[in-house]
Amino acid sequence: MMHIISSGILSLIQDLGRPHMQPFAVPASGAMDRFACEAANRLLGNAPDAACVEVTGGGAMFEFAEASVFALAGADLDATLNGRRLPNWATVYAPKGAQLALVGRQTAWGARAYLALSGGIDVPMVLGSRSTYAAGGFGGLGGRVLKAGDQLTAQTPFTQFDALRFAGRLWPAHAKPAYAALPKVRLLLGPHAHLFSDNAIQQLSAQPLKITSTSNRMGYRFEGCPKLVYRQALSLASLGVFAGVIQVPPDGSPILLAADAQTTGGYPIIGVVIQADLPLVGQCLPGDTLHFAVCGLDEAVQALTQTQQWLALGGQDDDYTLGLAWRGSAA
């Protein structure tokens, strides 16, 4: 069992979401950085879609009511265990009573860290997922953000074997998306790109764009982008949308949809972020910048294949480095 002493800026129970429910008008939700969420679980031998705690921005503190093994992946939020600095993208043995703190961003990139427990976090399955959709009030722990006083338990009891097998693992350094302070986010032309002025795509990708303070888990808005102009007045039928879609309302300001995006929309779609680069978007906060770059379908497929290979190989024991200092008294 793990007690929440402080939930920080925003902490939510998330897994890989419920994309299978989008045809029924239920947002997919799930982790903003699905790669890091899955990697944290694979470090522990959990199912790839097990539930984690998504900690945004830091300020969170947890206490282990019993000995546990946990994993951290994603952003470096200055994690410490009983005051001792922890490696990131790694598994750690926590003795009973140990306190885990995630203070805040320590590098030029990264907004979200994923905390996984050996066995997966035990919250009810709702519509095929344990992810929290706070706007709808369902999933996760009571359909809400986590708060001080909450208690989280693992689906399977901790054993000493778990500690001996998993504690001290480090994710392969080469097997990660290209996280950066100014990430290059590749996109494919959208189904309505031809409805924009000739230079609209060039305008979208010509310079870094700053994410505004009005952005959230539903979508990002940007500063620094020229208005993207329609060729003529438009009236489109609504169609299905999902995380990564870039819609442009009549005011010409693009909106990049994120994990909690609605399921349909009627604004024209100028581009779609490739799946392999969505983790880069998921690690951004308001005030961060990113740079769009148009790519072709072959490059998008190749990048996705590479990402899937990293996750598959990262789930094999032989691909881990053991940081023995973090095996603690379990070693």
pLDDT at 36 over 70: yes
Q: Is 60 exceeded by the pLDDT of residue 322?
A: no
> Does residue 258 share a domain with residue 147?
no
Residue 15 falls inside a structural domain: yes
* Residue 82 counted as domain residue: yes
| Residue 295: φ, ψ to 5° | -135, 175
- Are 299 and 275 contacting, i.e. CB atoms less than 8 angstroms apart? no
SS (H, E, C) 139-205: CCECCECCCCCCEECECCCCCHHHHHHHCCEECCCCCCCCCCCCCEEEEEECCCHHHECCCHHHHHH
Question: Which residues on neighbouring strands pair with residue 80, listed in sequence order?
Answer: 85, 101
- Evaluated on CA atoms 307, 322, 53, 221, the torsion sign reads negative
Q: 76 and 199 share a domain?
A: no
Number of domains in the chain: 2
pLDDT tens readout for residues 54-66: 999 999 999 999 9
Which pLDDT does position 159 carry in this prediction? 73
pLDDT of the residue at 255: 97
Task: Looking at the structure, tell me whether residues 206 and 127 fall in a common domain.
Answer: no
Tell me: do 7 and 131 sit in the same domain: yes
Does the residue 178 lie in any domain? no
Same domain for 14 and 161: yes
Q: Residue 236 maps to which CATH number?
A: 2.40.100.10
Q: Distance (Å, rounded) from C-alpha 257 to C-alpha 221?
A: 9
- 214 with 236, same domain? yes
Total Cβ atoms within 10 A of residue 124? 11
> Is 310 part of any domain?
no
The number of angstroms, rounded, from the C-alpha of 46 to the middle of its chain's C-alpha atoms is 17
Q: Do 52 and 188 fall within a single domain?
A: no
Condensed to tens digits (0 to 9), the pLDDT of residues 219-267 reads 999 998 899 999 988 889 999 999 999 999 999 999 999 999 999 999 9
- Same domain for 168 and 43: yes
Judge whether 288 lies within some domain.
yes
Would you state the pLDDT for residue 156? 82
- 194 and 157 within one domain: no
Domain that holds residue 26: 2-173+320-330
Q: What is the pLDDT of residues 300-311, one digit of tens each?
A: 999 999 999 999
Instruction: Specify the pTM.
Output: 0.94
300 in any annotated domain: no
User: Residue 328's pLDDT band (boundaries 50, 70, 90)?
Assistant: low
Residue type, 90: A
150 with 223, same domain?
Answer: no
